[in-house]
Structures are given as C-alpha cells and as structure tokens.
Structure 1
Amino acid sequence: MSISAQFVSLLAMMGTGIIAGAFMDMLGTGIANTGKASIIRRRAIWLETFGWLLAGCFAFAVLFFFRDGAWRMYDPLAQLSGLLLYATVFHRPFRLLGRIIIALLIRPVLLVFQIIFWFIRYVFRVIRALILLLSQPFRFIYHRFFRYHFKKNPK
C-alpha cells in the first residue's frame, strides 16, 4: 500500500472517529432531553451500546471500502484521535448545525403533524357532540323512567 493510500485511509479512520463522536453526542443529547420517567431514558444504556455498535459497523464499512477490510494497528489510534478532535474542535459547529436542522426541518414537520392531529381530534369531538346531541332525548327518557330498574335491590 502506498504512502498516499495509507494517509487517505488514516484520514478516513479519523473521519469515522469524528462522525462517531458526533453521533454519540447527538444520541446522548437526545437521551438527556427526554423526560425523567421516559422509556428512552430508562433504556439509555442499551441505546448507547447500540449506538457504539452502529459506530463500529460504520467504521468497519469504511475500512472495507478503503482497504478491503484490512485492519492496521494505527486504526484505533486514528479513531480515538478523531473522537478527541470532535470533542475539542468540531463539537460547537456540529451542535450549531444540529440546532439549525432542528429549527428548519424537524420543528416544521412536527408542527404539520400536530396540526393534522389537532384536526382529527377536532373532527372526533364534533362527531361526539353530534351523537350526544342526537341521543339527548333517549338519555332523558332512560334517566327519567328506567334508571332505577337496573339497580340491585338493597338487602
């Protein structure tokens, strides 16, 4: 393997470290922002373990793409340096990018879902009100004449 190919694979492994750091930071932030009694927070250990497994699979996929899966001794060091590089340099820009994505993409989609949910709930409330209105005479008759017939007799 030539020196330039080794350098490219070293940069790729550092890139997987940066991406793994960003992914785990995103996962940790998402877990931390849930409610204290949330099922997500109760299963946080499993979610983070699954996140690390996904990051490892992604790193192996990058290794497979660049070197046909050949592992070198410096690959874990390159990934660790990528994680540290994320923690020192790229942490704030990635967080800013995450806030921008939330503000521009996720919140409008959630707003559309909330509007649809509100509309469906409103339709069901109108249907319920109509049913209650139309059944009012029958309920009056039941309460006036037959309500006590279905109760148990006192002993």
Structure 2
Amino acid sequence: MLRNMIRSLLHKNDDEGFTLIELLVVILIIGILAAIALPSFLGQSDKAKDSSAKSNARNLVSQIESCYTTTSDYSQCQSSTALNPTGLDLGTGAGQVSVTAASTTGYTILATSKAQTGSANNTFTITKDPTTGVIARTCTGTDSCNGGSW
C-alpha cells in the first residue's frame, strides 16, 4: 500500500494546474489591495516632502543663529555666502529654503516643500519677532498644518 502511494506521487499527471476562475480571483484580490494601498502611499510621500521642508527650515535657523553670534546682526546673515556652509538648497523654489526678511534683531525663514496642494507648493515659515524675540512657526497649503502652525 505504501509502495502504491509513493508510486502515485512520483507518477503524477502533468496536466494539473489552476483554473481560469482561480486565476481571476487572485488577480481581483491583488487589484483591490493595490487600490487600497496606492492612495495611502501617495499621502505618505507628501508627508515626507513636508517633513523635509520643515527640517530645512530648522537647519537654516541654526545656521542664521550661529552667524548672529559672530555678527550681532541678522541682516548680515541672509546672504548666500553667509549661508553657504549649510549644504541646504537655497532659494524660493520647490524643495528650497531661504531667509526672506532679516533685520538687526529678527528674521523670517521660508521653506517650500516639494509636495503640492492644488497648484501651489506647501510652505513652512519660521519668524523671529524683532521686538519680542518670540519665534513663530506658520504654514500654508498642507494637511500637516494644525490651524496654520506646525
């Protein structure tokens, strides 16, 4: 009996396979899973781009504060030569960061995300008030804004 079972296993018919219905069900399941996962992935991608812009803004704050310790004037710290050692992509385009306004005692840093809401890029701003020295963080055009701040 054991010999017959082994013989039947070794001499299986090669015409066995999946039916068309079974293949269609598997393809349908894969399609449903892809339809669920794709929007979630795209949302995470935009969040990563926004986080990168926030990080760039914070890094530029560190650089401008470091420059201020030497010059005692934020307006002297907004040139590209003063900010060159940061390694950041300086400018106002998507994925770039810049010092948009600087005075002797305050500054405004604008970081633009590569993620888009509609036709505009998301922006993140860090402002140091020249009179009070209070730092405020604001943002526009993104889901990661919580009432206009981040």
TM-score after normalising by structure 1: 0.31
Highest RCO, 1 vs 2 (Cα 8 Å, sep ≥ 6): 1
Of Structure 1 and Structure 2, the greater helix share is in 1
Q: Give TM-score scaled by structure 2 length.
A: 0.32
Q: Which has the higher strand share?
A: 2
